[in-house]
Each structure stands twice: as C-alpha cells, then as structure tokens.
Amino acid sequence: MTPREVLALCREREIQAIDLRFMDFPGTQKHFTIPAKILVEKSFEDGFGFDGSSMRGWKAINESDMLVVPQPETAFVDPFMSNTLVMTCNIQDPITREDYAKDPRNVARKAESYMRSTKIADVANFGPEAEFFIFDDVRFDQNEHECYYHVDSIEGQWNRGKPGSGPNAGYKIRYKEGYFPVPPADTLQDVRTEMMLALMDCGVDVEAQHHEVATGGQCEIDMKYAPLLKTADNLLRYKYIVKNVAAKHGKTATFMPKPLWNDNGSGLHLHMSLWKDDKPLFAGSRYGGLSEMGMYAMGGILKHAAALFAFCCPTTNSYKRLIAGYEAPINLTYSYRNRSAAIRIPVHSPHPENKRFEFRCPDSSSNPYLAMSAVLMAMLDGIQNKIDPGHPLEKDIYDLKPDELAELPAVPGSLEDALQALRDDHKFLLVGDVFTEDVIDTWIWYKTSQEVAALRERPHPYEFAMYYDI
C-alpha cells in the first residue's frame, strides 16, 4: 500500500490507533501506539521520535533520540486489538536522517540492495518452516537459591497416568510420534486453523499447518516463500499471531528451540532460491537438479556455516536441539532428499520455478532479518568465489560409524563456539556495508556477556542430580 492507501484504509475501517512496531537488536519485537488522527501523509517521511536508550544493544543514554519511520507496505489491521492498524517501521537517526546501522530491518534492506548491485540476482526468495510449541501451563524461575522450569500440555505423554477433575481419555502423543496425528490425539487442530486463517487475513500466504513430531503440542505452520525482507516482516507477524491466538485459547506458545528434553526441538528450516528477471537461477543439470550457481551457493553456506550459526542459532538453548537422534542436523553436509544433512535438496516438483535447497540448521529464536541476511551473504560469496560444496552425503548420518562420522565437519557445539567462529570469519558479511564491524562486535559482546556468561555462572538443576552427594 501507499501512504494514501493506508490513510484511506484507516478511514474505511474506522481505525483509532496506529501501532508502530520494530525489532530490537537481539530479535524481540517492540512497539508503541499513537492516535490515528496524528498519522498524516507526511508522517511516512518525517517519522516519529522515541527513546532508543533502553533498546538492547542500541544507543547510549546521551544519544538516545531516534526515529521510527512507518512503512506503508507492511500495514495490516490488528485482529486482536480494537480499531488498531499495525505498521512495521525503519529506524533512523533524527539528525542525519541516516538509516540506523543496528536496525535489523536495515541490515536486511542492505543485503537485498547489495545482491542487486552484484547483478547475480534481483530476488532472494525464502520459504520458512517455523516450528513452535503450544503449552497449557508454564512456570519457571531463577534466583540465588533455586532454579526450575515446568511446562505442561494436555497431550503430553507424561500425562497418560495423571488423574484429574474428569476422566483421562488416554489420547496422549508418544515421544517423537507427534507427526500428523488426527484428532482427538491432535488437540490443537482448531487452534492452528485459527492461526492459519488469521495469518491469511493479515496478508501472510500459508501453504499448510500440522502437528509436528514432538509430544506436548509441537506445531508447524508453513508460509509461502517471498523475498527476504517481506519474509522477515512476515515472520514477525507470524510470531505475533501465533502467540496471541494461543493466549486467546488460554494457552501459551513458545519459539524456544528445545523446551522439552528427550524429544524433538523446534527449527526454522529455510527454503532458498535466487531469481533474476523472473527466472529461477537454481534449476539445472547438476546434483539434485541444481544449477552450477545453486551448487556454489550451497558451497558458500557450508564454508561459512559455523559463523552463520551465531545468527541462525543465536541462543544457548539452540545447541540443545542440535544433537543426534532428533532430526536436527549435526554435520555440515548436503544431500538430495536426506533430512539428516544440514542442506537438503527437496524432490517435490520437477518444475524449475520450484527448484531450491533447504538450510535445516536455523531455529526460530533467531532474528530473521539478521539470520537471512547472513545466509544470503554467504550464498553470494559462494557464487562469486565459485566455492565447491564438496561431495554430497547419501547415507543417514545417524547410522554412520564413528570413523566415518569423524570425517564430516560438525556444527558448532555451543553458542560460544559459534560466536568465536563469527569473530574469525565475518569479512563476507562486511561486503557492501551490509553488516558493519560495529554490528558484528555488538552482537558478539551482547551474546557473550548477557547469555553465554550468564548461563555459565549459574548452577543447573541437573548438576544437583549428578553432584550433590559427591
């Protein structure tokens, strides 16, 4: 939509409040709201001032004034709040009017701009498969003398023998057997359908929704592919709608990668392809039906994969998902069809426009603007430098012998390892000023000081089980 069309929509729908949203540096959506009468056509150029000093990883208190500039093409009517229109905003410096380097959306815009400047492609399409859990109850705390968490789901296997106020019907989903069950075992069908319809009403194209593998309410709703920036905007909308529909039903949704031990975690599988002049560039006669360019793009991702993990798997919890036996990739390889590889080439359709590959490592705790921008920069580096992805893996990784497994490059074992890899390998991200040294340094500093160090210094509950009587 244009600014005029946004204003016309406000009049047509009797909008009384404008919700201005943006994403902070680590990846949490923020907002503030203005009366609809304040929004005029000039607002889309002048923006609105706010204090950025309390945003994680952003401005210091002595230089805190910033601008949010609403983007009309992101407008949608909020399905949960009364008479409210939502718009995603870009962040600018109020004095220079320059786009703020640490605004994640700005990084994504620069990544797309740099891609176009290379003449390699004019569109990078991303199709995300975002997994999440819906729980009925969650409690957790951490202080000086105790640490615990407790999550519960009516369909969790652990509730098979639980007495309640009424009869226990016994339809509980067994561990790792939650893929595609029908109701009544699948208790969340109507909730997911409501989420799917709300997404579509808010302008997000959806391809499918279903229960996922894990017990205890693991779900997936697949969005149709779209260009990088639009996909990242849609993922913010996706999380907002999923969480609020769950809350409407008295439930809670989480995109935490591994909330349950001993069952599958939640990923954000990214299906990717490059296009130019409305023609797909990854279809060809090489391995898995890929083009030479597609092979080089995979080569770039695999070469820089360890550094990419700092953005694609950016939490300490991410690495509890990346272990053998739970359908998460543990080695940096590629394969035709094989889901145990880090990169998989799907076989769903022979049509060139559907030719793509799937990067299975990322998870939904990531900041989508930064994660997808980093992946795009790795693909472009692979294409420009003709990086060979090596030999494909045709076997199931989980069935390999130890000596065979030792020959395969492994994913980072922790967030700390991924951050060190980013320190050592980030020049490909700086090309075209897409990422800056300040962005990289701030990311490493924040994740190290606020997450890695914070977890390292606190006793873990399981340590008491292992060591209390030592």
- Is 292 among the residues known to form the active site? no
- Is 457 among the residues known to form the active site? no
Q: Which residues pair with 135 in a beta bridge?
A: 252
Indicate the helix (H) or strand (E) that contains 149: strand 147-152
- Is 358 among the residues known to form the active site? yes
Distance CA 314, CA 366 (A): 6
Q: Is 293 annotated to bind ligand?
A: no
Q: Cα Rg for the chain, rounded, in angstroms?
A: 23
Q: Is 267 annotated to bind ligand?
A: no
Contact 59, 49 (CB under 8 A): no
- Is 51 among the residues known to form the active site? yes
Q: Is 13 annotated to bind ligand?
A: no
* Strand locations in 317-404 (E): 334-336, 343-345, 357-359
List all residues 6 or more positions away from 373 whose beta carbon is below 8 Å from its beta carbon.
Answer: 107, 108, 110, 111, 228, 434, 435
**Structural tokens at position 299:** 């080569």
**Of the listed 103, 155, 194, 212, which one is catalytic?**
212
**Of the listed 112, 220, 222, 233, which one is catalytic?**
220
Show contacts of 36-44: CB within 8 Å, 24+ apart: 36/10, 36/83, 36/85, 39/6, 39/7, 39/10, 39/70, 40/7, 41/3, 41/4, 41/7, 43/3, 43/70, 44/3, 44/6, 44/69, 44/70, 44/71, 44/72
- Is 129 among the residues known to form the active site? yes
Looking at this protein, which amino acid is placed at residue 433?
D
Q: Is 273 annotated to bind ligand?
A: yes
Looking at this protein, which amino acid is placed at residue 414?
S
Distance CA 302, CA 304 (A): 6
Question: What sign for the dihedral angle of Cα 222, 225, 226, 227?
Answer: positive
Q: Is 416 annotated to bind ligand?
A: no
**Of the listed 21, 105, 211, 269, which one is catalytic?**
269
- Is 339 among the residues known to form the active site? yes
Q: Is 456 annotated to bind ligand?
A: no
Looking at this protein, which amino acid is placed at residue 347?
V
- Is 14 among the residues known to form the active site? no
Distance CA 319, CA 340 (A): 16
* Cα–Cα nearest to 371, from 314, 329, 321: 314
**Of the listed 192, 211, 360, 426, which one is catalytic?**
360
Q: Is 348 annotated to bind ligand?
A: no
**Of the listed 24, 103, 112, 129, which one is catalytic?**
129
Q: Is 318 annotated to bind ligand?
A: no
* Cα–Cα nearest to 69, from 36, 103, 35: 103
**Of the listed 112, 358, 363, 416, which one is catalytic?**
358
- Is 131 among the residues known to form the active site? yes
Distance CA 113, CA 132 (A): 31
**Of the listed 152, 339, 417, 423, which one is catalytic?**
339
- Is 31 among the residues known to form the active site? no
Strand, coil or helix: what is 154?
coil
Tell me the H-state helices in 265-388.
292-303, 305-312, 318-321, 368-384
**Of the listed 112, 131, 194, 381, which one is catalytic?**
131
Q: Is 437 annotated to bind ligand?
A: no
Tell me the H-state helices in 146-252.
189-201, 228-248
Distance CA 303, CA 381 (A): 10
Q: Is 304 annotated to bind ligand?
A: no
**Of the listed 5, 41, 51, 438, which one is catalytic?**
51
Tell me the H-state helices in 249-357.
292-303, 305-312, 318-321
Q: Is 269 annotated to bind ligand?
A: yes
* Cα–Cα nearest to 123, from 282, 1, 345: 282
Distance CA 203, CA 379 (A): 28
Q: Is 112 annotated to bind ligand?
A: no
Contact 9, 1 (CB under 8 A): yes
The annotated binding site for L-glutamate is made up of 264-265, 321, 327, 339, 360
The annotated binding site for Mg(2+) is made up of 129, 131, 212, 220, 269, 358
The annotated binding site for ATP is made up of 207, 271-273, 339
The annotated binding site is made up of 129, 131, 207, 212, 220, 264-265, 269, 271-273, 321, 327, 339, 358, 360
Point out the residues that are catalytic.
Answer: 51, 129, 131, 212, 220, 269, 339, 358, 360
